[in-house]
Chains A and B, each alone.
Chain A
């Protein structure tokens, strides 16, 4: 098979750039988009702020320390999702095979599009021009024979970059590249590999397969392939992703303040459970496994699961299971992030329950969904949550402009 041509497009400082575009007074200034003006982590610093060393993931305090005159901007998810939708439209002018990797990143499979737009570099320049013209945003584009190398390429030159890694360059580019530069090799894998004396992709490519598989199992072979720049992942469109989604649905949020109060955490769980439940119902799903994820103030993050006797898609049922898990965890620290997800999904909600009280519960959920669809999320909700929905929430990195991820 001839190698394909994949582009990876990474919008530069996406949230910050969108904010700077919307408000001229922010332009060319160090700004950082965060969960709220005074709380939450930095989601996106502008390039001006990055010059001072402000990084994604810093707390408000850390950012302020690095750059005392930084301007904090509260995240406005509606703005970013609208921008993302517009970008998707532009990318789809070039190829239908667009995979949104996150709200500000996408893979485009442009194999065979040369006849229409010229060689890949020309095509990438055209895309950059279109985006700049339409939206006044810049991006870095990596071009490679597969997703792994395309993503690597876009990471190599920021902002406004364009890097082509052709099949012939692969070995040379990877030889001395630290393994953690590859998408998919995180800190803990990096550490494990370092313990085996593997620090660069070249070393990874030459490592005996047996050594890798005995340490990492089936992942071993995949790791060695990554070291060699081999990746057979295909660009999957949103429809395809939606099918894939049937594996699990979840939401998480960073709290406005670190919280050690169990009752308060239970309320956050209810809010998340309601969101998950609504998405489940929208996709006609229900699920049997509920997972609760907690992140402590020191960023230690962990998940616990509970398998239910039957599939559920009602917020209160998901809440009950997640709270059950919470009560089994001795909280060691205040909690800064809570996540709830449901997996082992089944597509069976069309069957109505026989007993009237259960049927009423389903009908109430339907009625709530209908009202909330028309008048906005959480227009009708439980009294416990009534106080919580005045302010917008940080947009989830898994957000997608269409499909059940909208909710």
Chain B
């Protein structure tokens, strides 16, 4: 194998796979990437057996071939190389030689036959979706997905597609058992009703790819029984699905509320941030008192001090005092884009619904704390 590639081009590919390759070193080959050179350029593949990423990059290939080398070392090397042009050579299959300017590197290689193949997912019936729509949906739900939860289905994002009159409705739901977020978007596509749970890590990587060039480029999505497939010009991501039943999330989204208040998102989030400086460590508890035309946020930490801030609001309902984990509130607020948000409450022991004014298709639920 012998090829020449621009630093910028290969760096893009190496950056993309850093999040995918296995860091725990359970199977050494999974910390490697598979580099293949053919007449169309270079292909870089990485997988942790749960997610696989395959990208194509332009290069001048003199002699085709393939090799697997450490993804992390290769990235570190390329990042630091002085010159624009990089030459990669494999002579006897055990070593990859990387030359750029006066720098020479030799990286240990593993036989390419040992590299696990990415699962094949049939491409018929794929749906096209705007990259920006998908990015927004992931951003607005992924923060609430669980992490290492024993209820393993919560460690993934729930995706539910239903065909409506105006198009295909895609719903994404995330919850960690303390808060939940749920977004619906209608796209111009046709697909049978289907739902799946996609691992958090896959969605994180997908979001990173979508944020890469903020282009409005289209993405195609497809599903098989056990896998999800995401395709964009020259880039393929495959992810295993989480097998299991997602909990009945609709039961925790308050259908109606007795109290509702609208506040400026900025004023509210700055106030939460300020008073939470003095909330008790670990609990992050913030107390919210809502009464006639006033919303007071306060914290009280006997060891450090106390804080409070009042916001003038238009509220005529019954007074209520309720506690929240300020981090959960901040997560919701930073996922929202509009100027005003609405808080809907029933009582201090029931879930609180937070929505953005003007978008009834994005709903966040936060369970209160006892204060």
Interface check B175, CB cutoff 8 A? yes
**Interface window among B44-52, B84-92, B361-369:** B361-369
1/0 contact string of B132-153 vs chain A (CB within 8 Å): 0000000000000000111000
Interface check A310, CB cutoff 8 A? yes
Partner of A351, one of B149, B150, B251, B367: B367
Which chain A residues numbered 331 to 356 have a C-beta less than 8 Å away from chain B? Answer: 346-348, 350-356
Asked whether, in the complex, the Cβ of B177 is within 8 Å of the Cβ of A352, the reply is: no
Asked whether, in the complex, the Cβ of A351 is within 8 Å of the Cβ of B175, the reply is: no
Asked whether, in the complex, the Cβ of A350 is within 8 Å of the Cβ of B179, the reply is: no
Partner of B325, one of A347, A351, A356: A351
Measured between beta carbons, the chain A residues less than 8 angstroms from B282 are: 346-348
1/0 contact string of B221-257 vs chain A (CB within 8 Å): 0000000000000000000000000010001100000
Please give me the residue from chain B that is nearest to A346 by CB atom. B282
Measured between beta carbons, the chain A residues less than 8 angstroms from B149 are: 309-310
Measured between beta carbons, the chain B residues less than 8 angstroms from A353 are: 177-178, 367
Please give me the residue from chain B that is nearest to A366 by CB atom. B370
Please give me the residue from chain A that is nearest to B180 by CB atom. A354
Q: Once bound together, how far apart are the Cα atoms of A350 and B348, in whole Å?
A: 12
Measured between beta carbons, the chain A residues less than 8 angstroms from B175 are: 354
Q: Once bound together, how far apart are the Cα atoms of A348 and B369, in whole Å?
A: 9
Given the interface contacts A309-B149, A348-B283, does A354 sit within 8 Å of B367 by beta carbon?
Answer: yes
Q: Once bound together, how far apart are the Cα atoms of A309 and B177, in whole Å?
A: 13
Q: Once bound together, how far apart are the Cα atoms of A309 and B127, in whole Å?
A: 36
Interface check A358, CB cutoff 8 A? yes
Measured between beta carbons, the chain B residues less than 8 angstroms from A347 are: 280, 282-283
Q: Once bound together, how far apart are the Cα atoms of A346 and B325, in whole Å?
A: 15
Please give me the residue from chain A that is nearest to B150 by CB atom. A309
Which chain A residues numbered 342 to 384 have a C-beta less than 8 Å away from chain B? Answer: 346-348, 350-356, 358-359
CB distance from A312 to the nearest CB of B (A): 10
Counting chain B CB atoms within 10 Å of each CB, the highest count among A308, A346, A353, A355 belongs to A355
1/0 contact string of B319-351 vs chain A (CB within 8 Å): 000010100000000000000000000000101
Q: Once bound together, how far apart are the Cα atoms of A34 and B113, in whole Å?
A: 70
Q: Once bound together, how far apart are the Cα atoms of A308 and B151, in whole Å?
A: 12
Asked whether, in the complex, the Cβ of A352 is within 8 Å of the Cβ of B150, the reply is: no
Please give me the residue from chain A that is nearest to B252 by CB atom. A354
Q: Once bound together, how far apart are the Cα atoms of A322 and B200, in whole Å?
A: 30
Asked whether, in the complex, the Cβ of B370 is within 8 Å of the Cβ of A350, the reply is: yes
Partner of B177, one of A308, A346, A350, A358: A358
CB distance from A239 to the nearest CB of B (A): 13
Q: Once bound together, how far apart are the Cα atoms of A356 and B249, in whole Å?
A: 10
Please give me the residue from chain B that is nearest to A309 by CB atom. B150
Please give me the residue from chain A that is nearest to B179 by CB atom. A354
Asked whether, in the complex, the Cβ of B369 is within 8 Å of the Cβ of A310, the reply is: no
Q: Once bound together, how far apart are the Cα atoms of A310 and B285, in whole Å?
A: 19
CB distance from A234 to the nearest CB of B (A): 20
Measured between beta carbons, the chain A residues less than 8 angstroms from B252 are: 354-356
CB distance from A318 to the nearest CB of B (A): 14
Could you name 8 residue pairs across A and B whose Cβ atoms are closer than 8 Å? A308-B150, A310-B149, A310-B150, A348-B282, A351-B178, A351-B325, A354-B178, A355-B177
Pairs of residues from A and B, 5 with the lowest C-beta to C-beta distance, nearest first:
A309-B150, A350-B369, A354-B367, A350-B370, A351-B369
